[in-house]
Structure 1
Amino acid sequence: MRFFSVILFALLCSCVSLFARETQTVVSIENENKELSGMIDMHMTGEIPLKNASVNLVSQDAWLFFDNVRPSEVIEKYASMIKVSGEVLQPGKNSRVDVFLHGTVIIPHDENYEPLQVFTGENYSGENRTYLVDSCYQDLESFDNAIRSFKLKRGYMATLANESNGQGYSRVFIADNEDIDIPVLPHELNGKVSYIRCFRWEWVSKKGWCSSGAGCYNEIDLTASTWYYSWSADRESLNDAEFVPIKQNWGWPGFAEINSKSNVTHLLGYNEPDRPEQANASVEKAIGQWPQMMESGLRLGTPAIADNLNWLYSFLDECKKRNYRVDYVAVHAYWGGSGGAQVVTDGNGNISPEKWYQKLKAIHDRTGLPIWITEWNNGANWTHETWPADEASKQQKQLTDLKGILNVLDTCSFIERYSIYNWVGDERALVVGKDDNGNYTAGGAIDQKLTPAGEYYRDLHAPMAYNPLKAVVPTYQVVTPELEASYNMNSRAVEVSWTDYNGELTDEYVLERKTDDGEFEELISGVGQLKNQYSEELKPTESHAYTYRVKIKSGSEEKYSNEMVVDVPIVKGTSDVRYGVATLSDLVWKYFFFEDGAAYSTTPAVVFGGFSSATRTLLSYHLQGTSTNGFRFKFTPWEYQNVTELPKAENAPYIVATKGNYKWGDLDVEAGDVRSVNDEWKKVTFTKPFTEAPVVFVSPSSAKVTSPSFARVRNVTKEGFEVHFTREKSMTGSFSRENICYFAIVPGMTVVNGKKIKVGKTAEVVGELSNKAELSFDGTYTDPAFYCTLLTSNDSFTSNLRYSGLTSEAVTFMKQREKSAGASGTSALDQVGWMVIESGAIVGTGNIETTAEEGTLKIFPTLTRDILDVTAEWGTRIFIYSVGGSLVKNLVYRGISFSVCELSAGMYILRTDKGESGRFVKID
């Protein structure tokens, strides 16, 4: 399947200027002062093209070619013989002196030449404006989304995109042989251009060089290469060779350095992303950075794989899904005998040019893109071929094999460029130099010279690199937008955002919402753009699940985003004491909100009353962010269990109460907080003594301790109680101080707002499974909420109190101790306080869920200092927790690696909203 559609030759011809250009070819000009005007190309083929002569270029379309003299020699020997409109030739000032195959072209365009002219109307009508080379135009002012036709002068490249940063749909136009006139821009750009960047085009041959050493420039000269790269963006284009920058890996070189380059037209992606010692990047990581590659406006090549074609094909498939522009494929080809990525030897062990062709054609057929071979040779020092023993015979073999391979590369129309790698064995070298011992080797940089294969490479007149018949036009398909939504506790608003990779190619978007199981309704609509945001204030009086989605229209196509469900659980009531039962299915923070118009005047106390028994997972409560409008909490599993997700949803009964002492119905209550509690017992005195010892519910309220802990009381009297924190036995070190909330209520019965409430205590008879307690309410409580708490501390074990079998008339509860230090020891029997409330509303999960399909989570490396690579479904919400259960980072997966530099050293748990999880270790 082709990634892009090939430019049809007929279409190309219809877009070029139809004015005739005269071409003259001579061996040399002798004893003549020649003047060139009008549209003319003058080619001189001789080795000494000007003899006692001069040439004056008097029009911008009069071009002078030295077919067999390189630019540096033209400048050195013939600059004084050439004038531009009567002025002395000044390269870079009043003219361009550029590479043209194995020679030179002189173009009489000055440094302020504006090669691109755009029009607001079709067929070159309306307002018009011209643009300079190198400048990146991201603010087109009145021409933004107004351009409908353009003219591009010969010798230049222009990139147009419909997002102002160069992203969205973009296309590269190259006027290599003639002016390009586009009377009507294609649909994707017509009236949608917001970015323009122009470049000087050079007519390099296929033949190039790769080097970063001290001998780099000398090697380019020796081999007569017309382009080169250095595995960085650290160099410049030379008189005789165009430079191609590369984004070597995720971290460097930086895009600021890349985008500052002048006189470049192409950009290479990562170097060997499939190798751990090179770029070492996943497809997702490379995809994540590709929009920044597009911002350069340069013609873009894929990351150059070492040997993993599946990596390459996956990358291109992902680009296609997102409408990312890719202009050519880059590969490495150390192909020879066994040991290499591809075996291209015949039955006698000799290199087979035909097999080279077949392997390359297979890549082209799969990708549909022209190919650059940015590192290659006749095998390598890790491949296995039969080589002669003596040096002269080795050099002859390399020459013979190289001729066959180069014949394939030069005659294949889909091979656009190649740059040979010199340092894979002296027998394969094209350039050798003296090393520190005076021996000629491939790595020597002193007194460099060519081998026989190098001489052949030097003398090879490779064909033109760029072939317009093999260039591609990026195709466009409507991409599904990606939506996120969350509820802001402070503003009481749902905040919705979505990314529409179609950008301005979306004719219209419609944001829709449904409440619970109702029908979707339109909220807003508008014209498409890449990033979109919407916020709506919601102050419901009942708990609701709100589902959001966005629909886009592009041409005749419609696409819907993923749906995001935002639960807004409401704690009902307006009195001092409110209650409910939350059902949580995961381990992330959940928000709960007080009924609109019924905010507390001061921050209330929030406590929890035991756990249901849906699972055997030991849990603790963490509470955070309590305000007059609501609170958030989560479950934290005990660490020794290594639990990263709940197998089933658990119920969490809670009470919210105004701080102070007062009556709730006919029962006396006091709610408050206690600061700075640790593992030492702390005495708490009630503001006002009760008439009898109350039932006291306590819960941590500040979440300063991220690891699981349990607040426990003892010595409960009418005047007060003692409280401290316990934790896993296996944990050592000092215990950080934490705040708690408490809710104390005397035993008895009352009715509040028509709902029965009963509070009581057991004897000290409650233990683990063999000593579970069965409690009868001595009455019927419809849809009850049940709360329980330990009132004594007769052992040192940390324990959960869990209830089960809850009916309208009875319940069973028991202690469940943690066993991080082993199962030895006996759990004591304790007293339990309890409360049952009729019609205790279950307010919902508080979950934020997506309807995206389940994917396969991969985390690598599992030991990292800085960057974490994750493979997951695009748009997956990722949560990172400390081993103590604290949420330390969350993000939405966009196919990009992300930094974890800010995290402290230690083990972390990564969990997705699809229920997948994994671990990694952050090291310093």
Structure 2
Amino acid sequence: MFYDSNDGAKKTFTDNLDLGIGNKIRYRVQSKLANGALSSYTNELGYDVTNGSADIQYGTMSVANIGWNALFFKNKYLQVSPAIALGAPSNANFSTILVPRAKVISSSTRTNIQILPWSYQNVSSLSKEESVPYLIAPFGSSDLGGLKVMSNKSSVSGAWTNITFASPFDTIPVVFANQIASGTTFATIVRVRNITKTGFQAKIMKESTNTSTLSAEDVSFIAIAPGTGSIDGRKVVVGRTANNFVGFIYKSISYGDSIPSPIFLAQMQTCNDDPVTAGLRCLAVADKYATVVKQRERSSGESTVSSEMVGWIAISSVQTPSGIEQSKDGSLLSIFPNPVRDILHIQGDGLKNQDAEIFNTVGVLVKRIPVNENKIDVSDISSGYYLLKIKGLPSCKFVKY
């Protein structure tokens, strides 16, 4: 309950949104009648709030309809407008082909997100909730823990448009591009191709049987150098598949690393069967891989597709421990690298003749090993999060991958 009144003259009520209470806020409303009885509840309403720092924000939005859904920026973009990138939606409504779109409502405070079915399907509602991953970055140059990020917008129509980066990349980046005005009432999708170190081509696509002319509108893009980086203490991996990898059969994309509970965005980097209109859907997202498929709109009755190269980014939803802990008496324990693959180096007072104990997240002792030359071998334990304990020193968390 956030408002209760017996004032019959009051017809409206305004409530200030609290963006700090969570990422997914849902509510229902009912009215108090003149006799004091309560009306039935309305349909569920709500909004989502981003995760992330002041510069780059990210997350996964839950969508249960084909209308526009509000996504508020936890940190406002007061100086520079943001680019919006949407990944492949989930596939809960597997019999309906859906594509995601964005519409910036306020460049400083929020955007709307929609997943829209192609018109020929005559779908007006969704039976199951879908999820749409998103990445938001300010126009200009950013950084993801050593990975170069370039974001901007360009006017794009139904014809291929050349877009040039403000500064070239050292390697060919992964490009995520989306509409941020979405002026049509019917489904559309942005496709990219010919990505180089200096730029790429993009165009907006619609159903093949739709005879409407697509006017030029703003398309934002986020280009990221491939590799391993970080954001807000969370591991980030950016990569691309081989060409002709993802087609009409589900294919699994390996991150080459373990990413705890990742936020996974994927978009096609090629357009091998232009002018076929198609998008991606995501069947599953796991700690080491995600499974995606290319879905063609079938208004013309055709269903064949060519396979594509897919670019992706996986962002851990769990912060990586720093590897430095201090007890109340001032004793320090420092470990590195963190995350670690094999040898974990340890620095601290009184390590000589000590045993290190490693516990998993449910408190089970996984390994006890002497600390020799200030290092221990953890190559034989499974990937995951662990707690390192050494007598007389503070406990320290680490990630094994």
TM-score by length of 1: 0.33
How far has the Cα of 1:759 moved from its partner?
0.4
Structure 1 residue aligned with 2:172: 693
Higher strand share: 2
How far has the Cα of 1:626 moved from its partner?
4.0
Please give the alpha-carbon distance, in whole angstroms, between the structure 2 residues aligned to 1:752 and 1:604.
Answer: 17
Check conservation: 1:705, 1:737, Cα contact below 8 A.
no
Structure 1 residue aligned with 2:374: none
Structure 1 residue aligned with 2:260: 782
Check conservation: 1:612, 1:650, Cα contact below 8 A.
yes
Summarize deviations over 1:620-654 as a string: whole Å, max 9, x none: 23322242011112122101111111132211111
Q: Does 1:604 align with 2:93?
A: no
Q: Which of 637, 652, 662 is the equivalent residue of 2:132?
A: 652
Task: Give 2:114's aligned amino acid.
Answer: K
Please give the alpha-carbon distance, in whole angstroms, between the structure 2 residues aligned to 1:527 and 1:788.
Answer: 51
Q: Decide whether aligned partners of structure 1 residues 806 and 615 sit closer, same or farther in structure 2, where only a CA change above 3 A counts.
A: same
Q: Does 1:562 align with 2:40?
A: yes
Task: Give 1:570's aligned amino acid.
Answer: V
Q: Which of 237, 242, 246 is the equivalent residue of 1:763?
A: 242
Superposition pairs for residues 217-616 of structure 1, below 5 Å? 512-513=1-2, 523-529=3-9, 532-543=11-22, 544-551=25-32, 554=35, 558-564=36-42, 565-595=44-74, 598-616=76-94
Please give the alpha-carbon distance, in whole angstroms, between the structure 2 residues aligned to 1:527 and 1:581.
Answer: 40
Q: Decide whether aligned partners of structure 1 residues 706 and 568 sit closer, same or farther in structure 2, where only a CA change above 3 A counts.
A: closer
Summarize deviations over 1:410-445 as a string: whole Å, max 9, x none: xxxxxxxxxxxxxxxxxxxxxxxxxxxxxxxxxxxx
Task: Give 1:656's aligned amino acid.
Answer: I
SS of the counterpart of 2:5? strand
Q: Does 1:702 align with 2:181?
A: yes
Q: Decide whether aligned partners of structure 1 residues 553 and 711 sit closer, same or farther in structure 2, where only a CA change above 3 A counts.
A: closer
Superposition pairs for residues 865-904 of structure 1, below 5 Å? none
Please give the alpha-carbon distance, in whole angstroms, between the structure 1 residues aligned to 2:171 and 2:254.
Answer: 22
Which one has the largest radius of gyration? 1
Q: Decide whether aligned partners of structure 1 residues 840 and 621 sit closer, same or farther in structure 2, where only a CA change above 3 A counts.
A: farther
How far has the Cα of 1:588 moved from its partner?
1.3
Check conservation: 1:623, 1:702, Cα contact below 8 A.
yes
Task: Give 1:708's aligned amino acid.
Answer: A
Check conservation: 2:145, 2:229, Cα contact below 8 A.
yes
How far has the Cα of 1:587 moved from its partner?
0.9
Structure 1 residue aligned with 2:122: 642
Please give the alpha-carbon distance, in whole angstroms, between the structure 2 residues aligned to 1:840 and 1:739.
Answer: 33
Check conservation: 2:246, 2:309, Cα contact below 8 A.
no
Please give the alpha-carbon distance, in whole angstroms, between the structure 1 residues aligned to 2:38 and 2:122.
Answer: 38
Check conservation: 2:102, 2:113, Cα contact below 8 A.
yes
Summarize deviations over 1:241-288 as a string: whole Å, max 9, x none: xxxxxxxxxxxxxxxxxxxxxxxxxxxxxxxxxxxxxxxxxxxxxxxx
Q: Decide whether aligned partners of structure 1 residues 527 and 747 sit closer, same or farther in structure 2, where only a CA change above 3 A counts.
A: closer
User: How many residues end up aligned between the 2 structures?
Assistant: 313
Structure 2 residue aligned with 1:812: 291
How far has the Cα of 1:696 moved from its partner?
0.3
Q: Does 1:793 align with 2:271?
A: yes
Task: Give 1:585's aligned amino acid.
Answer: A
Summarize deviations over 1:78-136 as a string: whole Å, max 9, x none: xxxxxxxxxxxxxxxxxxxxxxxxxxxxxxxxxxxxxxxxxxxxxxxxxxxxxxxxxxx
Task: Give 1:602's aligned amino acid.
Answer: V
SS of the counterpart of 1:560? coil
How far has the Cα of 1:836 moved from its partner?
0.7
Please give the alpha-carbon distance, in whole angstroms, between the structure 1 residues aligned to 2:107 and 2:237.
Answer: 28
Q: Decide whether aligned partners of structure 1 residues 602 and 539 sit closer, same or farther in structure 2, where only a CA change above 3 A counts.
A: farther
Q: Does 1:664 align with 2:147?
A: no
How far has the Cα of 1:525 moved from its partner?
3.0
Please give the alpha-carbon distance, in whole angstroms, between the structure 1 residues aligned to 2:273 and 2:197.
Answer: 23
SS of the counterpart of 1:568? strand
Q: Which of 821, 835, 854 is the equivalent residue of 2:313?
A: 835
Please give the alpha-carbon distance, in whole angstroms, between the structure 2 residues aligned to 1:600 and 1:834.
Answer: 28
How far has the Cα of 1:821 moved from its partner?
1.0
Summarize deviations over 1:504-545 as a string: whole Å, max 9, x none: xxxxxxxx42xxxxxxxxx3534434x522222233313333
- 5+ residue gaps in structure 1? 1-511, 514-522, 842-924
Please give the alpha-carbon distance, in whole angstroms, between the structure 1 residues aligned to 2:15 and 2:209.
Answer: 48
TM-score by length of 2: 0.73
Q: Decide whether aligned partners of structure 1 residues 697 and 527 sit closer, same or farther in structure 2, where only a CA change above 3 A counts.
A: closer
Please give the alpha-carbon distance, in whole angstroms, between the structure 2 residues aligned to 1:660 and 1:566.
Answer: 35
How far has the Cα of 1:656 moved from its partner?
1.0
- 5+ residue gaps in structure 2? 320-401
Superposition pairs for residues 171-186 of structure 1, below 5 Å? none
Please give the alpha-carbon distance, in whole angstroms, between the structure 2 residues aligned to 1:831 and 1:735.
Answer: 26
Structure 1 residue aligned with 2:395: none
